[in-house]
Amino acid sequence: MITLIDLLMIVVGTIFVAGFGIVAGLCIFGIDRKFAAHMQARIGPPIRQPFIDVMKLLCKDSVIPENAVPSIFNWAPVVALASSIVILLYLPLGSIMPVLGGLSGGYGDLILVMYLLTVPALAMVAGGFASGSPYATVGSQREMVTMMAYEFPLAVVIIAIAWRLSMAGMAEPFSLATIAGLTTGVPIWGVVGPVGILGCIILMVVLAWVTPAEVSRVPCDTPEAETELCGGLLVEYSGRNLAMFYLAQAVKTVAMASLAVAIFLPWNISWYVAMPAPAAVVVDFIFYLVKVVVVVFFSVSLIRVSMARFRINHLVTIYWGYLAGLGIIGLLLIMLDAFIKGGIVI
């Protein structure tokens, strides 16, 4: 039973997380562009450039194409941004518990996050089809193919981690608070043995490669492909609608990085250094932001600078073939680790 105080806390927490997601996402975009520029021996734009871009777009009118379906065309960016923010409500931020993590009892938070991660992409697909542009139609078709490609490796990673925690006897293994060690104090690395550690490293690599596909960054930006499709599914978007899609992508980037941090880099400084509770929250939150930047650097910036765009058929082969196979190997190693630690001889 949700009390009035609980409802008020959820509202306040939602406002805070929404503001944090937007600001942090735009900062991450600016930092990512700085990383890429320095790796290419350029100065690059200032970190505040994404804020300038969004403000400029918000000051412009949204042009609706003549052949578009106006209702879907206008609501798609709203749904994309709102769903991206909702994802963050189920993710821990440092030692701060998820805002909505307790509503389901924590039983299926991770599964719900997996479904929510598809909503912004589906909103972009719907908006692309509704725009009436042939470029956007091709981009939407590519986006659907890309989604089918990367969802399987992502599911393998999540199921493997949750299954191993379940085998370790932890309650609510699909709760992100449990996975991040906020309720147990034991992350996945404290559960597995040497074989399981190897499996977790493999799964971490798979998740790092899923991230650029989830956030439509090079080399997985095939649905947009400015040099081929003139922007793809966003080719007809402008003004405030384009700004909302831009913000949705920024927030989703923070959400994907936060998911990786919660699963594979969950440690907090307050676990090892005694400090007052308010100071612990602040220090852990700052440390969480550092971890998010590190994840974005290795899973977005480094990959997009070092590689060219995949062709759509190559993308499917890579994710359904190589990464899915690598994820299954990691899953098998984690299963083997569970049998070994359980004293079962194979």
What's the confidence (pLDDT) of residue 346?
42
pLDDT digits (tens, 9 = 90+) for 249-304: 999 999 999 999 999 999 889 888 888 888 999 999 999 999 999 999 999 999 98
Tell whether the model's pLDDT for residue 106 goes beyond 80. no
Q: Where are the domains of the chain?
A: 4-341
Residues 224-236 pLDDT 10s? 776 666 667 888 8
pLDDT attached to residue 103: 60
For the entire predicted model, the pTM comes to: 0.91
pLDDT single digits (tens) 197-242: 999 999 999 999 999 989 888 888 877 776 666 667 888 888 999 9
pLDDT at 273: 85
From CA 342, how far away is CA 346, in angstroms rounded?
11
